[in-house]
Amino acid sequence: MRKIIASLDIGSSKIKLVVGEYLKNSLNILCVVETVTHGLKKGLIINNEALITTLKETFHKAEEMLGLPIKEVVLSLPAYNTEVITSEGATTITSEDHFINYQDLIKAMEASSYGKISKTQELITIIPIQYKINEDEIVKNPINLNADKLTTKVALVTIPKANAVEFLNILDNIGVKVIDFTTTSLSDYAANRNDTLSSSFGAIVNIGEETTTVSIFNKGILTKAEVIELGGANVDNDIAYVYKVTKKDAKELKENLGLASHDLAQAEEKAELTDRLGEKIIINQVDLSEIIESRLEEILNLVKKQINLLTKKDIQYILLTGGTTEIRDFNILLDKVFTKSTILGKIDSVGVRSNKFSTSVGTIKYYNNRLKLQNKEYCLFDSDELEILSGNHKKVNINENSILGKVFGYFFDN
């Protein structure tokens, strides 16, 4: 059975709906839809009807591409007020042969969350930190081991319940089921995961359109996260203000002419356009890049301060991703601002070759990792829908559909 997973990233600037298929552990992108967000401000819903209209448009575009409606998604939520609690849970192995199975693991995970989550918070995921059998033997994977007791040490990741419920209700209104949640922090880690991130203590920073998310990870375990309310849109606003142009023109100047660092900018590189007063103006790359660099340097210095507030431990890496990191020469600016080792993220799957899709792609990878951990299977479409897809000459080959329900934010039942 092949895996086809749909991820939904509801950003303050754009809504991104991405459908991916796993073939031989390789992610193939089947569908990508981007629409301008309405009804959302800095990750919070301010107009339900406007957001519903935008989401309907997004899913309609996807249906036109695939020839089928997308009825289930993994939803990535903003990292506002993320809380991480370290906890332990245990269960007695009651089977006759005393070999640990996945049900035992589920029971131990469930036990780890009992009485630990406040009524105002929603459990997003449980990240295993350590497995222990028979009180004292630490093991990497307890499945199929013989034991009388299994204890799990975990990280419980929660967000405000009100945020999750609002998005659930909105999607339910348009007939879309949320099969699992994640956050920007967890998705960005999954999108960029490698040996360095899995074995080190560091920070992942997503500089989006309106916000910047700073997340601290200890060997792949999220420990803290915070959101800075500045992003790429602030750069656009600066350009629009200085040159008296529209925000649309400012964004195009940033993306097509500007550099994140003015060091390599060329005065002869210019753009001519009409400002809001109707006058012709000529903008050169050097002046434009100085404006861009000034605002980005401010954001990166705030990131440095936020990292220091979130942890006093020695940071071994800082990985930066998000759409704003796609501005040319961003790596040069990083070297100016940071003394620590910095890594510029790279999302390079065909169809999504941009860091603006870090959260979208990471959400699919995150869910796939959870399925593998549980030895579960999932596919967005059933066998009848496969016939329709085949008739439309889509690159999909699915046999059956398995609807998975979320259990304690971590394990699923068929």
Choose the most confident range, by mean pLDDT, from 109-118, 347-356, 357-366, 405-414: 357-366
List of long-range contacts for 48-53, beta carbons under 8 Å, 24+ apart: 48/170, 51/10, 51/170, 52/170, 52/173, 52/174
pLDDT at 414 over 60: no
- Strand 3-10 and strand 72-77: pairing? parallel
Give the lowest-confidence range in 196-200, 239-243, 261-265, 388-392: 388-392
Helices assigned H by DSSP within 216-275: 232-243, 247-256
Fold of 234-289: Actin; Chain A, domain 4 (3.90.640)
d(CA 263, CA 253): 18
d(CA 73, CA 184): 15
Q: How big is the CA angle at 324 (ends 321 and 325), to the nearest 5 degrees?
A: 45
Could you tell me the sign of the dihedral formed by the alpha carbons of 323, 328, 330, 333, in that order? negative
d(CA 251, CA 140): 48
d(CA 273, CA 27): 41
Mean pLDDT of 227-236: 95
Could you tell me if 231 and 324 are in contact, meaning their C-beta atoms sit under 8 angstroms apart?
yes
Of 327, 323, 320, 208, the residue nearest 265 (C-alpha) = 327
Mean pLDDT of 68-78: 94
Q: In this predicted structure, what is the pLDDT of residue 56?
A: 96
Q: How far is CA 179 from the centre of its chain?
A: 16
| DSSP string for 123-181 | EEEEEEEEEEETTTEEES--TT-B-SEEEEEEEEEEEEHHHHHHHHHHHHHTT-EEEEE
Mean pLDDT of 90-107: 92
Q: What six digits make up the tokens of 326?
A: 């796609």
H/E run at residue 367: helix 358-374
Q: In this predicted structure, what is the pLDDT of residue 154?
A: 94
Q: What is the mean pLDDT of the chain?
A: 90
d(CA 391, CA 400): 17
Could you tell me the sign of the dihedral formed by the alpha carbons of 196, 200, 202, 205, in that order? positive
Calculate what percentage of the chain has a pLDDT beyond 70.
93
Mean pLDDT of 93-103: 91
Q: What six digits make up the tokens of 24?
A: 């031989």
Calculate what percentage of the chain has a pLDDT beyond 90.
75
pLDDT digits (tens, 9 = 90+) for 266-309: 999 999 999 999 999 999 999 999 999 999 999 999 999 999 99
Please identify which residue in the block is written with the tokens 């033997």: 137
pLDDT at 401 over 50: no
Q: For 83-160, CATH number?
A: 3.30.1490.110
- Strand 3-10 and strand 14-23: pairing? antiparallel
Cite the residue boundaries of each domain of the chain with CATH code 3.90.640.10. 234-289
pLDDT at 351 over 80: yes
| Range 13-22 burial, b when 16+ CB lie within 10 A, else e | bbbbbbbbbb
Cite the residue boundaries of each domain of the chain with CATH code 3.30.1490.110. 83-160
Q: In this predicted structure, what is the pLDDT of residue 412?
A: 37
Q: In this predicted structure, what is the pLDDT of residue 83?
A: 93
